[in-house]
Amino acid sequence: GAVVSQHPSRVICKSGTSVKIECRSLDFQATTMFWYRQFPKQSLMLMATSNEGSKATYEQGVEKDKFLINHASLTLSTLTVTSAHPEDSSFYICSASQRTGQLLHNQPQHFGDGTRLSIL
């Protein structure tokens, strides 16, 4: 089955550090990947849609300069949390759908295992 690998699984760093999280589709091509944020005991909130070869689309309230997204290939999207602060501590999860010739719905998304980010 389709596998999405997310790395690292856990990051602990000091305030002011920039942190990069990678999301890879291992056995399929993903034109579009999605980045979510999840606080403890809460649901997933979509942060942005990452499109291969073009700019990401950010949800309202998400700072694009704070959360930099790069989708340079059909199998890799990265999320960089710039100058992270304690309030950025959260669980970040990416997902991807298999590439299709057109924008098709009714396909499941495949999720990475998430990255636990802790800013001291």
Q: Does the footprint of another protein cover residue 27 (CB under 8 A)? A: no
β-strand partners of 116 = 10, 91
The answer to whether the beta carbons of residues 13 and 22 sit under 8 Å apart is no
**75 in contact with another protein (CB under 8 A):** no
Distance of CA 20 to the CA centre of its chain: 10
**Binding status of residue 46 toward another protein by CB under 8 A:** yes
Within 10 A of 50 (CB to CB), how many other CB atoms are there? Answer: 25
Select from 34, 69, 85, 99 the one that contacts another protein (CB under 8 A): 34
- Of 68, 93, 73, nearest to 6 (Cα)? 93
Piece of the chain touching another protein by CB under 8 A; list 11-19, 45-53, 67-75, 77-85: 45-53
Instruction: Pick one of 19, 69, 95, 117: the residue that binds another protein (CB under 8 A).
Output: 95
Which one of 11-19, 65-73, 79-87, 88-96 is the stretch in contact with another protein (CB under 8 A)? 88-96
